[in-house]
Each structure stands twice: as C-alpha cells, then as structure tokens.
Structure 1
Amino acid sequence: MAGERAAEVVGGLGGLHNVRAIVGGERSPAEVTDAAARAATTYVVHDGDPLGEVGDAWVGFFDGTAPVGALEVAVEAAVGALRAERVVLPDYYLVLDPDGLPPTRRHWWMGVLAGAAPTRVVPAPASAGPVRDALRDLSAGRWWPDDVEGWLRGLPRQVPDRVGLPGA
C-alpha cells in the first residue's frame, strides 16, 4: 500500500479474515519483505515499498530536487536487493488517493509503475472500507516486466506526462 495514510489504512485492515497487516514503521523494505514471507495467511498487506527509494529519486530527478546521480544509485541499490532476494516486487500496489498527489509523484505511480504492470497498480481511497473492497476485486494480469533490471535502468527515460503514450 502506498500513500500518505498507508500506515493508518494498513493498520485498519488487521481484523480481516486471512489477512496479515504489517505496518512498516521503522522497518526497512527488506525487513517488511521478511515479515511478509513468514506470514501464515493467504494475504499480506503492508506499507513497505521495495521501490520507494527509486520512486523518490525518480521524482527528484524530474522535479530537479535530487542530486545528480541519485536516481542511478537508487536503481542499482534496488537491482542489488532484488537480485539478492532481500526484497521482492509486490503482487499489487494499492495507491491511496492518487489524485491528491503532487503531479510528478502521481506520474510515478499511475504512469511509470502502472505502465509496467497495468493491473498491478490500483488506485483506492485512503480508508479501510474502500481498500477492503479493492482487495476483494483485485484481478490477475501481466506481472512486472520480464527484464526488471532493464526496466529499472531505463527509468531516466520515463518522462512524466509522456509515460505510456505511443512513441514515448
């Protein structure tokens, strides 16, 4: 789950049948991945984003607020973590209130990530009830790109407002 109120909404899902809710808090994405892997439930909902630093760096790259090279460093760190299986890409990202996000951040979620795996990025209101409904309605679809490393390394060419357009 991603968004400003993700921890609050995840915490509100703990009582669902066959769902383990993990609020990341001070845990790293690798620690959240480990806790999720050990869960004995069918579904695990958490706010630990294995691509969080990449998303922050991508936004900073296009907003001009990140130091030179920050995106490349974040991408290589993510590639290393994925290769070492310290983190895994989630089955789904539920993005809370994407219309309220700053434009470049919204393009990260609803452009870059949704363009890579359209059914795996789901917008939802930032409250437990609508998120429960969204969880119930998740559909199968294309997984993340086969060449995740190539996709990640190509992120500097994924321009906001152009992501997903023909010829972009």
Structure 2
Amino acid sequence: MEAPGSTTLVVVGDEASQAIRSLERLANVQAASLSEASDDEVARWQASSSAPYVVHDHDPLGHVAAAWVEFFDDQSTFGVLELEIERAMDAAGRRAISVPDYYVVLHPEVLPVTWKHWWLGVLASESPTRVIPWPSADASLASLLRRLPTGRAWPEVASWLPRVPMSVPDRVGLHVGDEPTGEA
C-alpha cells in the first residue's frame, strides 16, 4: 500500500521509465521504475516512503488491463479475463494491491486503439479526474504534481471491476441516449 499521506501516481506508456527518471531528483518525490516488481515488493517500497508523492510504473490492475485488451482483440478468452478480475478483486480485498491515486497515461494519441479505450474509457469512466493523459515524458511531468486535479476518489474495485467485461471498446462510457442516431 502507499505510504500514509502520500499521493501515488502510476505512469503508463512506452516512455514511463524516462518520465519517472525526470522526477527522481525532486526532494518531495520518491520515484522508481518497478514494472517488473511483484505487488508485494511494490507495497513494501511504497510503505517505506515518507515523500508526499510516490511515482512508479507498476500497475496493480495491469493483468486485468492486458486480459481485457487481449479479449477484445481476439487474442484471449473470456475465462482469462474473468480469472484476472477475480484475482485482482481477491488481492484488493486482502489489501495486497490498491488502485493508485492517479494514472498518468503518456502519449495517449499513439496508443493502440484497444489500450486507449482501456485507459481513457474503462478506467476514466470510473473516476474521470484520476486518469490523466499527458503529452510528454520529460520534466514537464513535475508541473503536473503541482496541479493535480481533484475529484471523486476511485470507488472500491469490487463495485466496478466485475462490470469490466461489459465495457466494450468504442462504447465504454456511453450512456443510453449518448449514441449518435444518424439523424442530422
């Protein structure tokens, strides 16, 4: 879990480690590339921090995200997606993982389409101000820390993760009446 009083950001995208390195020199930030670390290792690392901001690239929902993308890209089965959701809900229930305060999505315009729908659709629909598209992996990320948006916190994963399989790319986030009718 994150250190008490710390704001946790998970940076995602091809240049995540570069973005994290740009923050390492800041006194109020503990930053590290942890994409290959286990959930337990990340939890211990976060708990040891006394910094106001904790920034890394280990997505606690990464397996769910990959299973969702693979399912909708016809590379995996529904059973795999269900299994990853079950595992994530179990880990969250044991407090072995927690959703970070913010996800920073680097260069969302170049993401593969289904991944874009995951980050800016599925996740953003649950807490819109907690998923931040960011155009650069450079030191400008430090300015984001000074002006993080406020908004409702993430709901408990048990309240929304079971709905993820029904979140269809190109339709996620749409509500009845939001769909184009084809009328001019």
Q: TM-score per shorter chain, which class?
A: over 0.9
Is structure 2 residue 148 aligned with structure 1 residue 104? no
Q: What is the number of residues matched between the two proteins?
A: 167
* Aligned mate of 1:117, from 115, 124, 127: 127
* Aligned mate of 2:21, from 5, 11, 14: 11
* Aligned mate of 1:151, from 152, 160, 163: 160
> Could you tell me which residue of structure 1 aligns to residue 145 of structure 2?
135
* Aligned mate of 2:173, from 155, 164, 168: 164
The structure with the larger Rg is 2
Root mean square deviation of aligned Cα:
1.4
What letter is aligned with 2:143?
A: D
> Could you tell me which residue of structure 2 aligns to residue 54 of structure 1?
64
TM-score (norm 2): 0.86
* Aligned mate of 2:52, from 18, 42, 48: 42
Summarize deviations over 1:20-75 as a string: whole Å, max 9, x none.
00210431233212211210111100101000000000001111111341111110
Moved segments of 4+, more than 3 Å: none
Distance 1:113 1:33 in 2: 21
- Structure holding more helix per residue: 1
Distance 1:26 1:164 in 2: 31
Percent of aligned pairs sharing the same letter: 45
Distance 1:39 1:2 in 2: 21
Q: Alpha-carbon deviation of 1:135?
A: 1.9
Structure 2, gaps ≥5 residues long: 1-10, 179-184
Residues 124, 130 of structure 1: 8 Å contact kept: no
Structure 1, gaps ≥5 residues long: none
TM-score (norm 1): 0.93
Is structure 2 residue 136 aligned with structure 1 residue 126? yes
Distance 1:96 1:75 in 2: 25
Q: Select between 34-43 and 90-99 the one with higher mean Cα deviation.
A: 34-43
> Could you tell me which residue of structure 2 aligns to residue 76 of structure 1?
86
